[in-house]
Chains A and B, each alone.
Chain A
């Protein structure tokens, strides 16, 4: 599961604070075993930081770049998920890719089909639910 950018950054901040303590331990402690242990902890934190960086890049790819695209209603209708086309739907002016979304098997969802602006339908069924932030953004509906 991809976490939000904010939660990834919060964890990174937490790790850097913990890492400072490890570094202090390495400088202050005379016991070789305590210093080795702190060094090991520091190594593990670097590995976790690398993983978080990858997560952040993936999150940014999904959220920021695609919103540059502008899509008309006519263009949207081509993305119906039929004949090899991806499946896109629009909600509140944002176009999302639901091609591989589990709830959109064969580009259909509870009687709805892809390639349409489903703002009203979304509001009537999923108001207050955190669904949209998990979807891949394609662009803006103009």
Chain B
């Protein structure tokens, strides 16, 4: 966390603790029985499972607390004990009472979705497209988690052979979007906690929660003063501004510089690699090239 004169900046402190505060309130209210747990369905579609892996790394709270105390996890194909027909029974038989649907991975629409079959139920193949259409219409809230679910992401990168699209392209309803490759555990858990307590959080014009997506990385970058002074890194490993190497911090709206990753210890720019814009719509195609040399001269 950035420190100013040995003390933590109060604004940064508040931002960092926002997700925590919400989750603490959920804990208290569930213990007092003033808040009822909701069912959570986590669909993994066309992607790399990176978002569920990221969520397993959550620290405040940890994953165990999420699936036992905050919600009842009805379905996640990577983590649940049942498999095959039994797993899909759990998915389709427990989705009547205001469940929350989290989706990671893009939706393949080529050949009516046949490029991604998530299982067989009652003898019929269930495509990812079927599952999103069916569950997406019934869910109380839909959260698209990660780059692929929010806008297609890596799964929809050129040449996009499976014709992948984001969840919003399939559903005619509000889809809360948490872009990032992967999504930070706090972005998901904080959004979920807000939904449990107060309903949908305040969103920007692209349906991202303002709690986490309100400032550009560039605006909170610890190397911003180098940019303002025109002091630029010419190769990786230098401690100055990586603008001339192609850093996407100036076009990427999320709180990585404040929150950081892996239990809040580090993030790409702190480790001398440019931001590749993974939390921005259009990633990866529109954020490439990730690194460039021989560009413009220093000012």
**Measuring CB to CB, which residues of chain A are less than 8 angstroms from any residue of chain B?**
81-87, 99-100, 102-103, 105-111
Q: Is B289 an interface residue (CB 8 A)?
A: yes
Proximity string of chain B (238-263) to chain A, C-beta cutoff 8 Å, 1 when within and 0 when not: 00001111111111000000000000
Contact B299 A100 (CB under 8 A): yes
Contact B289 A99 (CB under 8 A): no
Contact A87 B243 (CB under 8 A): no
Contact A108 B246 (CB under 8 A): yes
Contact B294 A82 (CB under 8 A): yes
* Residues on B with beta carbons closer than 8 Å to the beta carbon of A109: 251
Listed residue (A87, A103, A106, A109) with the most chain B CB atoms within 10 angstroms of its CB: A106
CA A87 to CA B250, docked complex, whole Å: 17
Query: From residue B269, how far is it (CB to closest CB) to chain A in Å?
Result: 12
CA A84 to CA B297, docked complex, whole Å: 5
Interface stretch of the complex, out of B42-50, B98-106, B183-191, B280-288: B280-288
**Measuring CB to CB, which residues of chain B are less than 8 angstroms from any residue of chain A?**
218, 227, 230, 242-251, 274, 282, 285-289, 292, 294-297, 299
* Residues on A with beta carbons closer than 8 Å to the beta carbon of B248: 105
21 residue pairs of the A-B complex, CB under 8 angstroms, read: A82-B295, A84-B294, A86-B297, A87-B295, A99-B299, A102-B227, A103-B251, A105-B243, A105-B245, A105-B250, A105-B251, A106-B243, A106-B244, A106-B245, A108-B246, A110-B251, A110-B282, A110-B286, A111-B282, A111-B286, A111-B288
Query: From residue B296, how far is it (CB to closest CB) to chain A in Å?
Result: 5
Contact B285 A111 (CB under 8 A): yes
CA A100 to CA B251, docked complex, whole Å: 14
CA A110 to CA B248, docked complex, whole Å: 9
Q: CB-nearest residue of chain A relative to B293?
A: A106
- A102-B218, A106-B289 in contact; A87/B246 too (CB < 8 A)? no
* Residues on B with beta carbons closer than 8 Å to the beta carbon of A106: 243-246, 289, 292, 295
Contact A108 B292 (CB under 8 A): yes
Query: From residue A80, how far is it (CB to closest CB) to chain B in Å?
Result: 9
Contact A86 B296 (CB under 8 A): yes
Query: From residue A100, how far is it (CB to closest CB) to chain B in Å?
Result: 5
